[in-house]
């Protein structure tokens, strides 16, 4: 397991919610939670992300993109990442969560 994945693993954070553990696993391409997140889609018009669990039909949850971004930033602050690890964690979040399908964001 990479250093980044070890540092962000939910077992290191006793106060991490199951939701944030699932988000972290999704961003890092891991299967740490049950159920797992299969897809996150960003609204083009609103500050929302839609979340679909593995095996789910349709989206199971709607969350604020701003809140999710803030949670991620707090997690990577608490994880003690190096500058390179932090850049990679931000990049991975943007690729998996913030990119609107069909765009180059």
pLDDT in tens, 18-68: 999 999 999 999 999 988 999 998 887 888 899 988 887 777 788 899 999
Nearest residue to 41 via CA among 56, 31, 30, 4: 56
Note whether residue 91 is domain-resident. yes
Residues 6 or more apart whose Cβ sits within 8 Å of residue 8: 24, 28, 75, 76, 79, 89
Number of domains into which the chain is organized? 1
Q: Which pLDDT score is estimated for 105?
A: 46
What's the pLDDT band for 103 if we cut at 50, 70, 90? low
Note whether residue 19 is domain-resident. yes
Distance CA 79, CA 73 (A): 10
Note whether residue 103 is domain-resident. no
Task: Give the pTM.
Answer: 0.86
What's the pLDDT band for 98 if we cut at 50, 70, 90? confident
Q: Which pLDDT score is estimated for 8?
A: 97
Domain residues for the domain of 69 are 3-98
Note whether residue 90 is domain-resident. yes
Note whether residue 104 is domain-resident. no
Note whether residue 47 is domain-resident. yes
Note whether residue 46 is domain-resident. yes
Note whether residue 105 is domain-resident. no
């Amino acid at each position: 397991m990479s250093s980044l994945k070890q540092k962000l693993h939910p077992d290191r954070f006793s106060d991490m919610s199951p939701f944030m553990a699932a988000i972290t696993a999704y961003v890092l391409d891991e299967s740490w939670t049950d159920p797992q997140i299969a897809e996150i889609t960003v609204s083009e018009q609103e500050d929302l992300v839609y979340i679909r669990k593995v095996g789910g039909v349709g989206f199971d949850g709607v969350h604020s993109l701003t809140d999710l971004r803030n949670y991620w930033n707090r997690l990577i602050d608490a994880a003690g990442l190096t500058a390179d690890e932090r850049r990679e964690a931000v990049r991975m979040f943007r690729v998996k969560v913030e990119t609107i399908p069909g765009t180059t964001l």
